[in-house]
Structure 1
Amino acid sequence: MAAAVMVMVMVMVALTVCINVDVAAGQGLCKMTQEGLTACKPSISTVKAEANPSEACCSALKQANLTCLCSFRNSNLLPYLGINPDLAMQLPAKCSIAPPQTCN
């Protein structure tokens, strides 16, 4: 399940690029702001990813709706957008966040 949560985090960052207009208009993706998504990207990047997420990333992830993010876990956009799915799946654990009970 932790792996699925990480994948969904990567997907949300990827989808931010696709829905940038909504986020810029004050909307968020699964209760994460554009700033939160941006803060997490260095930890899940396919190019020189940082070993540990920033405090800003973890704070944003703690506010996020992880169940909502699960709905994006199977997206093929992640690698295309420079997001390493394996690193994304590790993000909640690195932020000491429990994964959601269900992640279909």
Structure 2
Amino acid sequence: MNFHMPAITIHALAALLLVTSAMSAGICNMSSEGFDECRPAVTGPSPIDPTAACCSALEAADLPCLCSYRSSPLLPSIGINPDLALQLPRECNLSPPANC
């Protein structure tokens, strides 16, 4: 059987693995546990309010760094709604970065 995967699929898969790997190790001063705590607030058709643990993790995070991912096409591919993610600082009573 001769199976050829289009180059774009290979690149998208590699990028997804890179982001998933980075998130599992932590990114922007937010641990993988912090991402796990916040995931229900930024995914699915019926997101929940962020938990106290999510807000605590977000408080310790580098918000400008996290904002740099807002336009990433990879966020939706791992189930994160960027619009919901941008609302988290306000929902946690934190000041969002000025240009985010």
TM over 0.5: yes
User: Could you list the runs of 5+ residues in structure 2 that have no partner in the other structure?
Assistant: 1-17
Taking the aligned partners of 2:99 and 2:23, their CA distance within structure 1 comes to: 28
Taking the aligned partners of 1:86 and 1:62, their CA distance within structure 2 comes to: 19
The one-letter amino acid paired with 2:29 is: K
Structure 1 residue ranges (4+ consecutive) displaced by more than 3 angstroms after TM superposition: none
Superposition deviation, residue 20 in structure 1: 5.0
Among 33, 42, 56, which residue is 1:59 paired with?
56
Q: 1:20 to 1:71 in 2, by over 3 A?
A: closer
Q: Is the 8 A contact 2:70 2:86 kept in 1?
A: no
Pairwise CA RMSD of aligned residues?
Answer: 1.9
Superposition deviation, residue 48 in structure 1: 3.0
The one-letter amino acid paired with 2:37 is: A
Superposition deviation, residue 79 in structure 1: 1.5
Percent identity over the alignment is 48
User: Could you list the runs of 5+ residues in structure 1 that have no partner in the other structure?
Assistant: 1-14
Q: Is the 8 A contact 1:16 1:37 kept in 2?
A: no
Q: 1:20 to 1:74 in 2, by over 3 A?
A: closer
Superposition deviation, residue 90 in structure 1: 1.1
TM-score where L is the length of structure 2: 0.72
Higher RCO, 1 vs 2 (CA within 8 Å, ≥6 residues apart): 1
Tell me the matched-pair count. Answer: 83
Q: 1:39 to 1:98 in 2, by over 3 A?
A: same
TM-score where L is the length of structure 1: 0.70
Among 66, 70, 73, which residue is 2:67 paired with?
70
The aligned counterpart of 1:33 is 31
Q: 1:86 to 1:101 in 2, by over 3 A?
A: closer
